[in-house]
């Protein structure tokens, strides 16, 4: 058993751009679900818009990176408005239904062969990073220490991703300690009471939906930078993984989603490495390699259940709040 | 239960509020809120059907009536939380029809709820601060820059602390609102409503579920509102309290205003007694034909 490789791979996930992307998407969901009480089950849809909103103009129109970024953000705002206008006046569950359906509509639209010339259909798109890479200040080559030896390109996306995560966390922290954040948290507790105090609840919910969605969109861009964009990344399970991360870290916290994402990916990598090698070594004779690959997701499901039952406030959540949850 | 409860100070009653004989829909000398032909139906049920009613300014008006009379629905209609089928209503001469609840609140008409809505996982202080109007930092962009709202926030905090002291909640200011008792939450909700300096305070059953000792201080607070120049409209079931602090009483039954007047007179009104006790409460059922009585008995049995 090669323990070094198992731990090495797990350590890589500690700082990988994917971890950063999931952390940012979870932070967006923390704004929706943790602070405002909006049940957004379509975070994968926001991420998809980020990925394709960046890739399509970059490849098909040859736009510079900042124009591609703006396209993504604009698409995300429009998506949030389309979701929010009909549902934010209704009870919270309606938003949940609409978001999960809308995210699926987007994914299937980008999968269909009809738009293959633009979207690349199921094969997706690649090589849209060129303009952004011109900004890469790092010298060519592979460097790093311990398990963290990457190419200059990988380092660039990694650093960029984590800078964005830190900025987003800072922005969220500033907002949540402001009177704006107070209104948002009030809406989570009881929107009628907040309405009776003269606040335009509908507008606040919309602002929250847009802001959290924008975080998801940027997360989508970070996610697809080190790879190619394929529609099958953005299945509903993506949203559920992000929810798992959010609940693991603590729903109404700012560092929770980031810590949650790190713990989630390190554990996931560790488990899959361990199980794959355990099967190889013949420790689990009843299991094939393919089955072992699926087992880690079963473990994720079990982990989510355990968190919700035994640690509903998450790693960083306030235990005191729990005493008053109905 | 409440017979020995009286406000500490003898309330100063406002009189001469109306023009002409007290009757449903009577004109007021200086009305703050006027409702005209407000009707709300839920399917086949007419919950509220108020032809005309005026609420006098700077007075305490009680809205009473048996359960299901439509008092809370009427409250919801007036404050924009529900939309009537037909009708006009205005507050200080400005029409309130089709105005959303949050804008009604900004105009100075603040309400509380029958089932208290304290924001449980916010501290008592945060609950109070949320009540203040026109906060710079409540804009998402300005909220990002603390120097823009810090000063205002401190002023709001001082004001909140003052109010909390008056309501004897200052010791609890850093606790979660969820940790307060039911009565304390009623106090908090009332204090929070006062943060916006309202002109009309509408209290939906402020005394429901509050212990007698706290009732006394709540009564004093309501009287205090009037002394500070505010108008109070409240829904209540406790007649003793109504008689003690209300300057004017409006009685609703089956969605309509059936009587209006000064609290002592209105209690003698036949329509009020009928509404509360049933139209035939003093008729000897034994003297009517026995078939009728049998039918009523069967009805009662069915209901049980």
Q: How is chain B split into domains, by residue range?
A: 18-118+190-303, 119-179
Over residues A266-303, the pLDDT tens digits come to 988 888 888 888 888 888 888 888 888 788 778 878 87
Smallest CA–CA distance from A187 into chain B, residue:
B119
Chain B residue numbers with beta carbons less than 8 Å from the beta carbon of A321 are 121, 176
Q: Does B5 touch chain A (CB under 8 A)?
A: no
Closest CA to A158 of A16, A19, A263: A16
For an interface test with B, give the residue of A179, A184, A187, A204 to mutate (most B CBs within 10 A).
Answer: A179
Which stretches of chain B drop beneath a pLDDT of 70?
Answer: 1-10, 277-296, 299, 302-304
Smallest CA–CA distance from B190 into chain A, residue:
A197
CA–CA gap between residue A72 and residue A216 (Å, rounded) = 11
CA–CA gap between residue B237 and residue B219 (Å, rounded) = 14
Closest CA to A9 of A288, A272, A241: A272
CA–CA gap between residue A65 and residue A57 (Å, rounded) = 9
Model pLDDT, residue B40: 92
pLDDT 10s per residue in chain A (326 long)?
Answer: 688 888 998 899 999 999 999 999 999 999 999 999 999 999 999 999 999 999 999 999 999 999 999 999 999 999 999 999 999 988 888 999 999 999 999 999 999 999 999 998 889 999 999 899 999 888 888 988 888 999 999 999 999 999 999 999 999 999 999 999 999 999 999 999 999 999 999 999 999 999 999 999 999 999 999 999 999 999 999 999 999 999 989 888 999 999 999 999 998 888 888 888 888 888 888 888 888 878 877 887 887 788 778 888 888 888 777 666 54
CB contact under 8 A, A189 and B105: no
Over residues B250-294, the pLDDT tens digits come to 988 888 898 888 888 888 887 777 777 666 666 665 555 555 666
CB-defined contacts A:B, below 8 A = 108
Question: What ipTM was assigned to the predicted interfaces of this complex?
Answer: 0.84
CB contact under 8 A, A198 and B111: no
Least Cα separation, residue A321 to chain B (angstroms): 7
Q: How many CA atoms lie within 13 A of A116 on its CB side?
A: 5
| Stretch (H or E) spanning B186 | helix B182-194
Q: Which fold has domain B18-118+190-303?
A: Rossmann fold (3.40.50)
Which residues, in sequence order, are bridge partners of residue B18? B28
Nearest CB to A179: which of B103, B120, B137?
B137
CA–CA gap between residue B198 and residue A266 (Å, rounded) = 55
Over residues B190-201, the pLDDT tens digits come to 999 999 999 999
DSSP annotation of A229: B
CB contact under 8 A, A198 and B146: no
For an interface test with B, give the residue of A80, A171, A181, A193 to mutate (most B CBs within 10 A).
Answer: A193
For an interface test with B, give the residue of A89, A181, A197 to mutate (most B CBs within 10 A).
Answer: A197
Q: Does B115 touch chain A (CB under 8 A)?
A: no
Structure tokens at A148: 């963290």
Smallest CA–CA distance from A170 into chain B, residue:
B144
The C-alpha torsion from A214 through A220 and A222 to A223, rounded to 10°, is 160
CB contact under 8 A, A198 and B103: yes
CB contact under 8 A, B105 and A197: yes
Residue B287's alpha-carbon distances to A38, B281, B282, B290, B298, in angstroms, are 63, 13, 12, 8, 18
CA–CA gap between residue B127 and residue B119 (Å, rounded) = 6
Model pLDDT, residue B153: 94
Over residues A162-218, the pLDDT tens digits come to 999 999 999 999 999 999 999 999 999 999 999 999 999 999 999 999 999 999 999
Least Cα separation, residue B244 to chain A (angstroms): 28
Least Cα separation, residue B133 to chain A (angstroms): 7
| Stretch (H or E) spanning A143 | strand A142-145
Q: What is the pTM of this model?
A: 0.89
């Amino acid at each position: 058993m090669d323990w070094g490789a198992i731990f090495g791979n797990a350590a890589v996930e500690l700082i990988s751009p994917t971890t950063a992307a999931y952390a940012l998407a979870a932070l967006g969901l923390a704004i929706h679900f943790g602070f405002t009480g909006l049940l957004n089950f379509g975070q994968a849809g926001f991420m998809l818009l980020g990925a394709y909103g960046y890739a399509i103009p970059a490849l098909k129109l040859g736009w510079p990176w900042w124009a591609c970024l703006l396209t993504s953000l604009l698409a995300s705002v429009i998506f949030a408005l389309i979701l929010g206008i009909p549902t934010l006046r209704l009870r919270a569950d309606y938003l949940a239904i609409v978001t999960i359906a809308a995210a699926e509509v987007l994914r299937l639209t980008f999968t269909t062969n009809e738009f293959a010339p633009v979207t690349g259909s199921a094969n997706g798109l690649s090589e849209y990073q060129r303009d952004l890479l011109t900004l890469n200040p790092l010298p060519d080559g592979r460097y790093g220490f311990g398990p963290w030896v990457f190419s200059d390109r990988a380092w660039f996306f990694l650093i960029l991703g984590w800078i964005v995560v830190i900025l987003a966390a800072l922005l969220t922290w500033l907002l949540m300690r402001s009177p704006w954040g107070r209104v948002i948290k009030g809406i989570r507790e009881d929107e009628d009471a907040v309405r009776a105090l003269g606040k335009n609840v509908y507008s606040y919910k919309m602002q929250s939906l847009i802001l959290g969605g924008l975080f998801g969109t940027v997360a989508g861009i970070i996610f697809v930078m080190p790879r190619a964009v394929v529609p099958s990344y953005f299945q509903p399970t993506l949203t559920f993984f992000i929810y798992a991360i959010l609940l693991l870290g603590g729903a109404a916290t700012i560092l929770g989603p980031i810590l949650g994402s790190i713990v989630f990916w390190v554990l996931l990598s560790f488990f899959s490495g361990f199980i794959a090698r355990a099967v190889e070594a013949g420790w689990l004779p009843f299991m094939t390699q393919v089955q072992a690959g699926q087992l880690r997701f079963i473990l994720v499901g079990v982990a989510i259940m355990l968190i919700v039952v035994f640690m509903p406030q998450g790693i960083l959540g306030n235990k005191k709040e729990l005493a008053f949850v109905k | 239960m409440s017979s020995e409860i009286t406000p500490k100070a003898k309330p100063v009653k406002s009189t001469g509020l109306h023009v002409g004989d007290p009757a449903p829909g009577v004109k007021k000398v200086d009305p703050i809120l006027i409702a005209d032909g407000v009707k709300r139906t839920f399917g086949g049920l007419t919950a509220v059907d108020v032809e005309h009613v005026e609420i006098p300014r700077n007075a305490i008006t009680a809205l009473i009536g048996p359960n299901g009379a439509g008092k809370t629905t009427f409250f919801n209609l007036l404050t924009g939380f529900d939309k009537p089928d037909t009708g006009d209503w205005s507050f200080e001469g400005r029409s309130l029809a089709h105005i959303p609840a949050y804008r009604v609140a900004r105009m100075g008409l603040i309400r509380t709820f029958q089932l208290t809505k304290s924001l449980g996982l916010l501290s008592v202080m945060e609950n109070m601060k949320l009540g203040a109007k026109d906060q710079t930092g409540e804009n998402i962009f300005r909220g990002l820059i603390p120097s823009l709202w810090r000063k205002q926030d401190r002023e709001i905090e001082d004001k909140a602390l003052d109010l909390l002291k008056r309501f004897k909640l200052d010791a609890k200011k850093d606790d979660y609102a969820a940790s307060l008792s039911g009565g304390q939450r009623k106090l908090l909700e009332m204090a929070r409503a006062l943060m916006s300096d309202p002109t009309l305070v509408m209290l939906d059953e402020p005394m429901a579920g509050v212990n007698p000792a706290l009732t006394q201080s709540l009564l004093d607070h309501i009287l205090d509102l009037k002394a500070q120049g505010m108008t109070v409209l409240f829904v209540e079931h406790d007649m003793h309290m109504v008689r003690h602090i209300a300057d004017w009483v409006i009685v609703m039954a089956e969605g309509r205003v059936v009587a209006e007047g000064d609290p002592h007179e209105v209690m003698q009104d036949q329509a009020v007694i009928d509404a509360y006790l049933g139209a035939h409460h003093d008729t000897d059922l034994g003297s009517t034909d026995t078939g009728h009585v049998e039918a009523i008995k069967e009805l009662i049995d069915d209901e049980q």
